[in-house]
Amino acid sequence: VIALRAFLRFAEANEWCAPGLAARIDAPRIYTHERLPRGPRWEDVARLVAEPARPSPSDIRDRAILLLHAVYAFRNSEVISLRLSDIDWQQETICVWRPKQQKRQCYPLVPEVGEAIIQYLRQVRPKHICPQLFLSLLQPYRPMTTTGLSTMVRIRQRGLGLVLPGYGPHSLRHACATRLIAEGFSLKEIGDHLGHTSTEATQIYAKVDMPALRQVASMDLASLVDYAARLEADAASGDSETGGQR
């Protein structure tokens, strides 16, 4: 619908069609949180970030990137903007700039992630003055782009034969949040981990909280209906006693 509207506005500007056609095309109604989060199963994520027996330079670099997406749910742009100075090896922390919150957020450096980054720095990363953490492997050395990083994740997901509603770094972000839900973390805690600016952005993950949904489904609705019926009967009785003034 968006593409068709844009084309008709362009056609109208060139006098190829009658005016006002674009405004008459109604878009389908899409409700907030209508769809489930689209992410791979955590078992598939574990396969994706597993260390190969004989890793190539690209395997070593890409594994460090995939771990950042899977463990910390970093966005594509956040991984691209990571600098060497964002990792404090003495304090064992990693900090990321959150563009939506306009502030830095720091996390404990998980040992597996730290070891993967160290392996990349020692064995793969070019000796270059560029401050960005992840660089291209071929000259001229330059920071990785968001397009290149997204393409890498999609290729590696498809290489495992995964069939997903959506591929790329954001699917790993969904997988991380879904795993945290399964581990019993609250929506507030998950929102803080994902760097959400409001709780509304995290509410969609309540749809995949199966234990909580089962508790709702097991509620004794019969007693609730009986209670509502008694309230309605009491209200009707009160109206008749007071001549309908209540």
Residues designated catalytic: 75, 100, 170, 173, 196, 205
Partners of residue 106 on adjacent β-strands = 95
- 198 touches 190 (CB < 8 A): no
- Alpha-carbon radius of gyration of the chain: 26
The CA-atom distances, in angstroms, between 54 and each of 49, 66, 116, 134 are: 14, 18, 14, 21
State CA 157 to chain mean position distance: 16
Give the C-alpha separation, 37 to 214, whole Å.
19
Backbone angles phi, psi at 136, to 5 degrees: -65, 155
Of the chain, the end-to-end C-alpha distance in Å amounts to 52
- 167 touches 158 (CB < 8 A): yes
- The token duo for 18 is 């009658």
For residue 74, what are the contacts with CB-CB under 8 A and spacing of at least 6? 68, 82, 96, 169, 173
Tell me which residue of 41, 40, 113 sits closest to 74, measured CA to CA: 113
